[in-house]
Structure 1
Amino acid sequence: MRILVVGGSGLIGAHVVDVLRGRGHVVTTAARTARAGVDHVLDVEQASVDSWAAVLSGHDGVVYATRTDEQRPLPKPVYPAFRATLVAPVERLFTAARAAGLSRGVVMGSYYTHFHRLNPAWRLAERHTYIRCRVEQAAAGRSAAGLPVAVLELPFVFGRAGERVPNWAGALDRWARSRSPLLLPVGGTAGASARSVAEVAADALEQGSGADIPVADENLTWTAMLTRIAAAVGRPRPVRRLPASVARAALRAGGAVLASSRKEPGVNPSYLADLLLTDLFVEPTTGRPLEPALRETFAEPIPRGR
């Protein structure tokens, strides 16, 4: 098959390109910034249906692998900005894919939509703009495409691709390397390697899947995750328990500061504790090892801003 990978120079996109080529597929790439290995320079937030149609011509499938920072505070109201970043680009891309005669697609989504489906009583899409837009993103892509579009619901993704690392990793790297105490509350998350995500994406393309696919190699408590990061950076030490009440108070205080500045992140601080203090575990896991990607992520200090 001939596949276009949008965001092909990013952490996940680069691994998708590598896996697809390793399986014998022809891959072209699109990204916002010109660099080695990027075939088409396009800003996904600005690219029109017509410009995408020209790029997609002759392809069989497309992978949408750009990233969005749900924690970056934006001026209220935040919904228009998140919709412009998450939903509208996918809608235009897959409208063009349908016109160009593509037969399949993959969107890199968030595991929050997995928990949105599993636990409707949590009202995640109602409470969090980012999760609402992830839900709308999947629906918009499928509606516009009229063809099978698999949505990979991704947790914390570990690994490297050249200098590219996860956008959340820098703060944890600096904390683990510091002399500050390591304090975390109960709760946890799922984790996957970028390579594992790429293998699942390639499987979905080859199968023409249109499913929602949660991806996890391993489930980790916050304590276990930070303990392993500290070991990976060469500063192994115990992680102590932060009382849940303290975590809730700190998050409420942070939310109040943001509210006073008329800003808000995509995940509402008023309800963020409900997520952080919960085991957001995904079952079943892939069974692939996570440790090599975790160590690779933190193999060397991550520059500030990454």
Structure 2
Amino acid sequence: MRVVVVGASGLVGQHVVERLRASGHEVTTAARTARDGVDHAVDATRASGAEFRALLAGHDGVVFAAGVDDREVPRRPAYAVFHRGNVAPVVRLLTAAREEGLTRAVVLGSYYTHFHRERPEWRLAERHPYIRSRVEQARLGRAAAGPDLPVAVLELPFVFGRARDRLPNWAGPLDRWVRSRSPLLAPPGGSAATTAARVAEVAVDALERAGGEDLPVADDNLTWSRFLGLVADAAGHPRPVRALPGAVVRVALWLTWLAHSARGRQSGLDPRYLGDLLLRELFVTPGRPGSVEPAIAETFPRE
């Protein structure tokens, strides 16, 4: 296959590129900023349909590994920012892919869409602009692709790993915390977790099969206490993780919402309802259970 990877310089994007090449496929790389290993500098949020068609011409498949993450706190209304970063580029890209006759596509999304589908009573897309953008990314992207271009959506939780200088976007503050003298405090709840290498494996398999499924990706499920403990151990600063009452978390989130509102800002994950997610065990049944500990060690190496 000949495959275009959009967002090829990111953590997961680099792993996808490496996995495709190791499997004997030809890869064209695109990313926002020109750098070593990037064939085309393309800002997906600004690229027109015609520019995407020129990029995709002569290829069989495409992977979208770019977008805006849930940490953004733009001015109100926030959804416009998340639509511009996550939905509109995918619609233009997959429209161009259909017009160029591509036969397979993969979009890297969020595991929140899995819970949106499984637990509609949580009203996730209604309450959280970021989650709404991921739900619409999948729905409108597939509509743009049409019936002859299957689009697999990988629903990703926390992703550990490293690719050259790239680490998970959220890793920096956590790294500083576990290496400090501050106590480690963890609330109830937890999250599914996976690795960049595992995501790349699932993405390449979906391309090779031309599958169009929703694919929750998980290797393990970690309570927040275990999550912090493993990170501290990997960084060489092991210590006990103390319990943080959920009520304290909810109060802190409400204060965060008040601060955002006073500045005319809106979070992608609304703090008023975020406690309902953070304090739950957002676990996913792994398709193939595995350990994330080696990837945690890559992400938070000992000094």
TM-score after normalising by structure 1: 0.97
Q: Note the residue ranges of structure 2 that are not aligned, 5 or more in a row.
A: none
Q: Is the 8 A contact 2:236 2:302 kept in 1?
A: no
1:9 has 2:9 as partner: yes
Structure 1 residue 273: Cα displacement: 0.4
Structure 1 residue 70: Cα displacement: 1.1
Name the aligned partner's letter for residue 209 of structure 2. Answer: Q
- State the alpha-carbon separation in 2 of the partners of residues 89 and 247 from structure 1: 35
Aligned partner of 2:173 in structure 1 is: 171
Structure 1 residue 68: Cα displacement: 1.9
Q: Note the residue ranges of structure 1 that are not aligned, 5 or more in a row.
A: 302-306
Q: Is the 8 A contact 1:182 1:238 kept in 2?
A: yes
CA deviations 1:68-110 (Å, max 9, x no partner) are 2212211111111111111000000001001111000000000
1:226 has 2:228 as partner: yes
Aligned partner of 1:56 in structure 2 is: 56
Structure 1 residue 285: Cα displacement: 4.1
Name the aligned partner's letter for residue 28 of structure 1. Answer: T
Aligned partner of 1:36 in structure 2 is: 36
- State the alpha-carbon separation in 2 of the partners of residues 97 and 288 from structure 1: 34
Q: 1:264 aligns with which of 263, 266, 273?
A: 266
Q: Is the 8 A contact 1:186 1:244 kept in 2?
A: yes
Aligned partner of 2:100 in structure 1 is: 100
Aligned ranges for residues 51-200 of structure 1 at < 5 Å?
51-146=51-146, 147-200=149-202
Name the aligned partner's letter for residue 148 of structure 1. Answer: P
CA RMSD of aligned residues (A): 0.9
Name the aligned partner's letter for residue 187 of structure 1. Answer: G
TM-score after normalising by structure 2: 0.98
Q: Is the 8 A contact 1:248 1:273 kept in 2?
A: yes
Structure 1 residue 284: Cα displacement: 3.0
Q: Is the 8 A contact 2:234 2:302 kept in 1?
A: no
CA deviations 1:193-249 (Å, max 9, x no partner) are 000000000000001100000000100000000000000111000100001111111
Structure 1 residue 300: Cα displacement: 5.5
Number of equivalences:
301
Name the aligned partner's letter for residue 241 of structure 2. Answer: V
- State the alpha-carbon separation in 1 of the partners of residues 157 and 99 from structure 2: 32
Q: Is the 8 A contact 1:106 1:201 kept in 2?
A: yes
Structure 1 residue 141: Cα displacement: 1.2
